[in-house]
């Protein structure tokens, strides 16, 4: 699946972004570094590290910027896990600051997260979404079930409309978001 994305104003222009399950150790390592940068340093939600027991059973997804078709850096990440049979959660969605609002990295990560869980038997896909991100999820066909406070911050418990996310049985190769110049 190809998705067009805007290219941020960088010294170079990525040719494409590959969004896939993390399959290599460097991808996972860089994804955890990105999460620490976003959730510990930028947002100050956690001290030192954001990793928890869920990471031991979760599947990590990454968004990679590519130059000349080769992965260059991890620019986004999210994790998914099955909480109970048929009930999946997505969490720790993080996009590098230089790639926010210029590309559809977050939306493509969300799409692969739900679609790959759907292929694995997901019947309900949920996420605790920071309130400022709830409109993005609503545009991607998620419903807000309730408002709540998590880590002292306003969140929405949201549920994906699974009919909008056809099962993806090739999450290791994932999706490609083609870069395009902003208009």
Tell me whether strands 124-130 and 87-95 are parallel, antiparallel or unpaired. Answer: parallel
Averaged over 7-30, what is the pLDDT? 81
Supply the pLDDT for residue 163.
Answer: 97
CA dihedral 165, 167, 51, 134 (to 10 degrees): 0
pLDDT digits (tens, 9 = 90+) for 65-120: 988 778 889 999 999 999 999 999 999 999 999 888 666 899 999 999 999 999 99
Domain spanning 2-180, CATH class? alpha beta
The conformational region for residue 68 under phi > 0 = left, psi -120 to 50 = alpha, else beta, is left
Identify which of 123, 130, 132, 92 has the alpha carbon closest to the alpha carbon of residue 110: 92
Predicted confidence (pLDDT) per residue in 143-176, tens digit: 999 999 999 999 999 999 999 999 999 999 998 8
Token pair 């993005």 is at which residue? Answer: 136
Average pLDDT, the chain: 90
A 10 A CB-CB count for 82 gives: 16
Q: Taking a C-beta distance cutoff of 8 angstroms, is the pair 171, 18 a contact?
A: no
**For residues 49-69, average pLDDT:** 94
Q: What is the pLDDT of residue 169?
A: 95
In the chain, % of residues over pLDDT 90: 78
The pLDDT value recorded for residue 3 is: 42
Residues paired with 17 in a beta bridge = 65, 177
> Distances from the Cα of 1 to the Cαs of 16, 44, 125, 143, 180, in angstroms?
12, 35, 21, 24, 16
pLDDT at residue number 68 = 78
Domain residue ranges of the chain, discontinuous segments joined by +: 2-180
What is residue 93's predicted lDDT score, i.e. its pLDDT? 97
> To the nearest whole percent, how much of the chain has pLDDT over 70?
88
Question: Distance between CA 28 and CA 74 in Å, rounded?
Answer: 9
Query: Sorting pLDDT into bands at 50, 70 and 90, what band is 24?
Result: very high
């Amino acid at each position: 699946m190809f998705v067009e994305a805007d290219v941020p104003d960088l010294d170079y222009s990525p040719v494409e972004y590959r969004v896939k399950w993390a399959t290599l150790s460097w991808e996972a390592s860089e994804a955890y570094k990105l999460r620490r940068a976003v959730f510990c340093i930028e947002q100050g939600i956690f001290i030192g590290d954001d990793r928890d027991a869920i990471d031991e059973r979760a599947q990590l997804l990454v968004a990679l910027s590519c130059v000349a078709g080769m992965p260059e850096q991890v620019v986004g990440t999210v994790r998914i896990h099955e909480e109970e049979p048929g009930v999946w959660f997505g969490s720790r969605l993080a996009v590098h600051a230089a790639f926010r609002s210029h590309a559809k990295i977050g939306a493509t990560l969300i799409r692969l997260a739900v679609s790959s869980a759907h292929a694995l038997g997901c019947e309900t896909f949920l996420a605790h979404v920071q309130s400022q991100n709830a409109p993005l999820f609503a545009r991607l066909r998620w419903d807000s079930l309730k408002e709540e406070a998590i880590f002292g911050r306003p969140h929405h418990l949201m549920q994906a409309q699974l009919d909008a996310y056809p099962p993806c049985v090739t999450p290791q190769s994932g999706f490609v978001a083609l870069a395009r110049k902003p208009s």
